[in-house]
Chains A and B, each alone.
Chain A
Amino acid sequence: MQGDVLADERTKSLGFDLEGKDKAGSFAMTDDQILLSLVRESGLEVMPIGEALERLPEVREKYFWKLISPDEDEITKRVNEAPLRGLFARVKRGRRVILPLQACYILRSEAFSQIVHNVIIAEEGAEVHLVTGCFTSTHVSSGSHFAVTEIFLEKNAFLSYSMFHSWAPQVEVFPKSAALIEEGAIYVSNYVSLREVKQIKAFPRMIVKNNAAARSYSIIYAPKNSFIDIGSHLVLEGENSRGESISRTVSTGGKVIARANLEGKGANCRGHVECHGVLLENGGVISAIPELTAFRDDVELSHEAAVGRLSEEELLYLEARGLSEDEAKSLIVRGFMKVDIPGLPQELKKEMDKIIDMTIGGKEL
């Protein structure tokens, strides 16, 4: 079975090689089966969540269902009722794991509902870069994926969480995540979806404590028949906390809602929202919905939003250099989606850019 999955082009096209010799650890699920769970670096624990709950009593005490309530909505209820599957990952105090830790969620059976609950922990001063890939096997066209992910960053930790989605046209995806970012910690969330998908709804919540920071990036390419409702909810609770929610969305016929909700509660907290959307074809819709709420007089929250067509001036400029209209559009769109993400290891950034080039570069825009 493993060979069958490893051979899947889609997995490889997103840079996921399950054997992952250049990864700090690997976790993979097909449908509701745990396929693989291994660690290559010391100071890092990776195991199925069920095993973690059995072996480590503190998981239930401190983390499991502690950031998200099981009866919060239909998704959480569904996850709570389903058999327990998912990833537990923890990086130990002070350990800096630079190689990415990868997790793959694969839908292998037609019309299957994959349901997972993940718990990710970066202990004090630790660093970890989690990369998840969500795929369907090539023969699968429909299914659904429900996920609850609870993320904990202890004091001065750094955690980046990059999610690459590559689903089939009739797949519906409902990830529900929340992150608690303790004092001085930095959390970076990257959400990338570049293929047709029936529906994705994701609105991760990030609670940011004193001197901590949360940065959320959503990179979305929505072909026809896709509906993607995405964004982030940043609660800037701590003194001097920082938050940034950035989205770059492109529609060639799909519908996108790019949301951001910033709540400024802590003294001198700062937050910024950027929702930029490009509509390449009629029939598509992009809505940018930034929401800012200040609860104190020393809070500074701002947003910039722009949706619409590509700049004619930029296109003409590149065309005058000899790029055809399609080449110029493709170059601008790829550039638009390649956001600079501070703190992300170079290799991971390159990997992200490569995925954008491979998915968008070959398309007629």
Chain B
Amino acid sequence: MLEVKDLWVEVGGKLLLKGVNLTIGEGEVHILFGPNGSGKTTLLMTIMGAPQCRVVKGEIVFDGKVINDLPIWDRARLGIGMAFQSPPAVKGIKLKDLVEILADGKDGFDNELYSFLKLEDHISREVNKGFSGGERKRSELLQLFAQDPKFVMFDEPESGVDLESISLVGDAINRLLERGHCVKRHPKGYKKSGLIVSHTGYLLDYVKVDKAHVLIDGKLVCDKNPWDVLTTIREQGYKGCEVCKETC
């Protein structure tokens, strides 16, 4: 589904990714840990195609196609989606109108999602305007349900969300990725792939993740069972990952 090969990226003249290799197969969900400033968001934004992330070297291959030179919207149309860490408010556009534009021509979007994501009162408001941290995260998920991408990236979906609401975010991610028990499979038959950036690992309690990676100073240092990695980080901090890297 997604293959990142020896990716070097600079932002504003500063080299932030230094040779990242990552492969996510169809239907797989990976989690990406890493300290602040290690380049996690840069990696996601580069895959998405944000113009400020300049690829110096390397390739991003999606569904067998090199997408390095594709603009952001073409990547979205190929099936890449992203939940932003701090999505902006979009003035003058109602959430419902945006959702309708995104869901247009696609089957599978169910109006019941508004209540599932507790956004019934927000649909006639401007996108993200005045939304709390948790509401913004749920608005991201709602838009992704409407957009219906094949590969979804989540940039710290649990940050700024109270503990009680994390389970809702987790349930929604499961449902979006077609990972739950009672999830209706996409009519085209595919199962979505995903990449979750996380600081805390709380989501591992809710979402079944296949693999974990740790990004330190622009390089991926790990490719292991998520719970083992989380345990290492919890017990030894990211330093533990550095040590582990040498033994990997």
Judge: A and B partners, yes or no. Answer: yes
A residues less than 8 Å from B71 (CB atoms): 319, 324-325
Select the stretch in A196-204, A289-297, A333-341 that faces chain B: A333-341
A59 proximal to B (CB < 8 A)? no
**A322 CB-CB contact with B under 8 Å:** yes
Complex contact B90–A321 (CB within 8 A): no
Q: Are B88 and A334 touching (Cβ within 8 A)?
A: no
Main secondary structure, interface of A, reads helix
Within 8 A of A (CB), among B28-85: 48-51, 71-73, 76-77, 81-82, 84
A314 at the interface (CB under 8 A from B): yes
User: Can you list, as one digit per residue, whether each of B72-106 has a CB less than 8 Å from chain A (1) or not (0)?
Assistant: 11001100011010011011110000100110000
Question: Are A332 and B90 closer than 8 Å at their CB atoms?
Answer: yes
Contact between B82 and A320, CB atoms less than 8 A apart: yes
Query: CB of B143 within 8 A of chain A?
Result: yes
Across the interface, B91 reaches (CB within 8 A) one of A319, A324, A327, A335, namely A335
Are the C-beta atoms of A332 and B147 separated by less than 8 Å? no
Complex formed: what's the CA distance from A338 to B97 in Å?
13
Given contacts A321-B147, A322-B102, contact A316 B72 (CB under 8 A): yes
| Interface set, chain A 324-353, CB cutoff 8 A to B | 324-325, 327-328, 331-332, 334-338
- Among B48, B73, B81, B102, find the residue whose CB has the most chain A CB atoms closer than 10 A: B73
A283 to B4, CA, bound (A): 42
What are the residues of chain A within 8 A of B102 when measuring CB–CB?
321-322
Chain B residue at minimum C-beta to C-beta distance from A318: B90
Question: Does A81 count as interface, using CB distance less than 8 angstroms?
Answer: no
Pick from B48, B50, B73, B143: contact of A324, CB under 8 Å: B73
User: Who on chain B is nearest to A326 by CB?
Assistant: B73
State A313–B50 Cα separation when bound (angstroms): 10
Residue of A at shortest CB range from B94?
A335
Chain A residues in 8 Å Cβ range of B72: 316, 319-320
Q: Do B92 and A336 touch across chains, with their CB atoms under 8 A apart?
A: yes
A317, A324, A338: the one within 8 Å of B87 (CB): A317
Say yes or no: A334 contacts B90, CB within 8 Å: no
Q: Is the CB of B91 within 8 A of A336?
A: yes
When the two chains form their complex, are residues B73 and A331 in contact, meaning their CB atoms are under 8 A apart? no
The docked-state distance in angstroms from the alpha carbon of A320 to that of B83 is 9
A314→B82 CA distance, assembly (Å): 14
Near B by CB (< 8 A), chain A positions 9-31 give: none
Do A317 and B88 touch across chains, with their CB atoms under 8 A apart?
yes
A33 on interface, CB distance cutoff 8 Å: no
Closest to B148 in A: A322
**Chain B nearest CB, measured from A142 CB (Å):** 34
Q: How far, in angstroms, from A327 to B73 measured CA to CA in the complex?
A: 10
- Report which residue of B48, B50, B76, B102 has the largest number of chain A beta carbons within 10 angstroms of its beta carbon: B76
**A358 CB-CB contact with B under 8 Å:** no
CB of A325 within 8 A of CB of B73, answer yes
A328–B127 alpha-carbon span in the complex (Å): 14
Cβ of A111 within 8 Å of any chain B Cβ, yes or no, is: no
Closest-CB distance, A234 to chain B (whole angstroms): 24
* A332 to B126 CA separation, bound complex (whole angstroms): 11
Residues A332 and B93 in contact in the complex (CB < 8 Å), given A320-B72, A320-B82: yes
In the complex, the chain B residue whose C-beta lies closest to that of A333 is B92
Most A C-beta atoms less than 10 A away, residue of B51, B101, B126: B101
Pair B48/A320 contact, Cβ less than 8 Å: yes
In B140-159, the 8 Å CB interface with A consists of: 143, 147
A365 interface contact, C-beta 8 A: no
User: Closest CB of chain A to B134's CB: distance in Å?
Assistant: 18
Complex CA distance for A337 and B93, rounded to whole angstroms: 10
Q: A316-B50, A322-B147 are in contact. Are A334 and B92 (CB under 8 A)?
A: yes
Min distance, Cβ A199 to any Cβ of chain B, angstroms: 28
Whether A331 contacts B147 by the Cβ 8 Å rule is no
Whether A311 pairs with B88 at a CB distance below 8 angstroms is yes
Task: Tell me, yes or no, whether A323 is within 8 Å of chain B by CB.
Answer: yes
Instruction: Say whether A322 contacts B88, CB under 8 Å.
Output: no
A322 to B80 Cα, complex, angstroms: 9
Complex Cα–Cα for A325 and B72 (A): 9
User: Using Cβ atoms and an 8 Å threshold, which residues of chain B touch A323?
Assistant: 73, 101
Residue in chain B with minimal CB distance to A327: B73
Q: How far is the CA of A327 from the CA of B84 in the complex (A)?
A: 20
Given contacts A316-B50, A331-B101, contact A321 B76 (CB under 8 A): yes
Q: CB within 8 A of B90: which of A317, A325, A337? A: A317
Q: Are B76 and A322 in contact (CB under 8 A)?
A: yes
Q: Which of A316, A328, A334 has the most CB of B within 10 A?
A: A316
Q: A334-B92, A336-B91 are in contact. List 12 more A-B contacts (CB 8 A).
A: A314-B90, A316-B50, A317-B90, A320-B84, A321-B147, A322-B76, A325-B71, A327-B73, A331-B93, A332-B93, A335-B91, A337-B92
Interface residues of B (CB under 8 A from A): 48-51, 71-73, 76-77, 81-82, 84, 87-88, 90-93, 98, 101-102, 126, 143, 147
A-B contact pairs, 25 of them (CB 8 A): A311-B88, A314-B90, A314-B91, A316-B51, A317-B87, A318-B98, A320-B48, A320-B49, A320-B50, A320-B72, A320-B73, A320-B84, A321-B76, A321-B102, A321-B143, A322-B73, A322-B76, A322-B77, A325-B71, A332-B90, A332-B91, A335-B91, A335-B92, A335-B126, A338-B92
Of all A-B residue pairs in the complex, the 5 with the closest CB atoms, nearest first, are A335-B92, A322-B76, A335-B93, A319-B72, A313-B88
